[in-house]
Amino acid sequence: MQAIVLNTFGAPLTQQEITRPAAGPGQVLVKVHASGVNPLDTKIAAGKADHARAVLPAVLGIDLAGVVDSVGDGVQGFAPGDRVYGMTGGVGGVAGSLADYAAVDARLLARMPDQLPMRDAAALPLIFITAWEGLVDRARVSAGKTVLVQGGAGGVGHMAVQLAVAHGAQVYATGSAGQRAVIESLGAVFIDRDTPVEDYVQQHTGGEGFDIVYDTVGGAVLDASFRAARRYHGHVVSCLGWGTHALAPLSFRAATYSGVFTLLPLISGEGRAHHGDIMHQASALAAAGKLKVLLDPGRYTLTADSVSAAHRALAEGTAKGKVVVELTV
């Protein structure tokens, strides 16, 4: 089969013919129709993502959408012909989705709604799982809560906004002036990201702070998030809490913090079934018309040049939404 292979960190991607895998015990062999591209893919390719534990030569591609070709021993719930998607590889030595076929741990997969196109489906897994783990698993979002999403028009951010809205929360989201229409179309109150944190906390919460703050930006924005949390009951979540931060502003509010590391089940092998369960939730929301993904208009295919162009669009910041490589159009 054909695959896009990273042989050396920092070197160009190559298109190669490699051995087609077979579905082992507990696995599903998927004919890949589309592969989602994430900023992490570009960092892995550049050799700047040690935490992803990539093993060379590597087939990249964390997100997958496709059709079940065959199932291995012990697999229940999937059959040939099923349309499936999930966050299935590309890190930790697990082969990714930039290939004609992928042998996938069945626990990571869910069937997708019939009305969900492959391109949209491939864009969802990592960003939806990351949003779900932060808002639902960690912060226990519920109706009536006030939720602030830092970076509400970004990949994880626009998933978090929709999840919070679906759970009945009152949602606010920061972004640039040019992202206002997108954020408001998702059901959130727009906050200009250049507004001082104390000003928007006063304006929107009367100075009390937000029940939940989901930081998808990191750095100084995470520091600001600590100051935006509600006293006593506020909870800050971040999927980019990798820097050095002072916890005093959070502690003085008697608030709490959680980190999200979405790659852990792929790297450790623990918790994979939960990722499959989360994708079942994505299917339910998408089927109900409560979940949409913002897609970049660029179209990319399974060639080294095209995938490299997709990576550049992310790395250079020219992509206007989620980037997807389509193997079957």
Query: Tens of pLDDT along 269-285?
Result: 999 999 999 999 999 99
| Residue 81: inside a domain | yes
Same domain, 105 and 183: no
Tokens of 316: 């250079």
Residues 120 and 222 in one domain: no
Kindly state whether residues 198 and 255 are assigned to the same domain.
yes
What would the pLDDT profile of 225-276 be if each residue is shown by its tens digit?
Answer: 999 999 999 999 999 998 899 999 999 999 999 999 999 999 999 999 999 9
pLDDT class of 165 with cuts at 50, 70, 90: very high
What one-character DSSP code corresponds to residue 19?
Answer: P
DSSP class of 179:
G
Query: What is the pLDDT at residue 305?
Result: 97
Q: Based on the domain organization, do 49 and 80 belong to the same domain?
A: yes
Crossing angle of the two packed helices 155-166 and 272-287, in degrees rounded to 10 = 70
Which H/E stretch holds residue 289? Answer: none
Does 224 share its domain with 117? no
Sign of CA dihedral 24, 116, 273, 96: positive
In the listed set 259, 280, 315, which residue is the last one of a domain according to the structure? 259
Does the residue 27 lie in any domain? Answer: yes
Its domain, for residue 10, covers 2-127+263-326
Asked whether residue 133 is assigned to any structural domain, the reply reads no
Number of domains in the chain: 2
Q: Say if residue 188 is exposed, middle or buried (CB neighbours under 10 Å; 0-12, 13-18, 19+).
A: buried
Percentage of the chain lying above the pLDDT 90 cut = 99
Same-domain pairing of 98 and 171: no
The mean pLDDT value for 154-167 works out to 98
Instruction: From 209, 230, 259, give the residue that closes a domain.
Output: 259
The structure tokens listed for 208 are 């009390």
β-strand partners of 215: 150, 238
Mark which of 259, 283, 298 sits at the end of a domain: 259
Domain with residue 243: its CATH number is 3.40.50.720
Dihedral sign from CA coordinates of 167, 135, 89, 307 = positive
Q: Tokens in use for 188? A: 């959130």
Region 295-303 average pLDDT = 96
pTM of the prediction? 0.97
pLDDT of residue 161: 98
Q: Are residues 222 and 114 in the same domain?
A: no
Considering the domain boundaries, does residue 103 fall inside one? yes
Same domain, 147 and 237: yes
Question: Does some domain include residue 134?
Answer: no
- pLDDT for the residue 210: 98
Q: Report yes or no on 38 lying in a domain.
A: yes
Same domain assignment for residues 179 and 211 = yes
**Statement to judge: residues 107 and 161 lie in one domain:** no
Do residues 314 and 325 make contact, with C-beta atoms less than 8 angstroms apart? Answer: no
Q: What is the mean pLDDT of residues 181-186?
A: 97
Percent of the chain residues topping a pLDDT of 70: 100
Domain-located, residue 6: yes
Inform me whether the pLDDT recorded for 75 exceeds 70: yes
Q: What is the pLDDT of residues 3-48, one digit of tens each?
A: 999 999 999 999 999 999 999 999 999 999 999 999 999 999 999 9
| CATH code (residue 7) | 3.90.180.10
Helix or strand holding residue 90 (H, E): none
- With 70 as the cut, is the pLDDT of residue 2 above it? yes
Can you tell me the distance from the alpha carbon of 256 to that of 210, in angstroms, rounded to the nearest whole number? 12
Residue range 85-102: average pLDDT?
A: 97
Pair 278, 310 in one domain: yes
CA–CA distance, 151 with 219 (Å, rounded to integer) = 12
Q: In this model, does residue 329 exceed pLDDT 80?
A: no
> What would the pLDDT profile of 304-315 be if each residue is shown by its tens digit?
999 999 999 999
Alpha-carbon gap, residue 117 to 127, rounded angstroms? 17
Tokens of 289: 């018309």
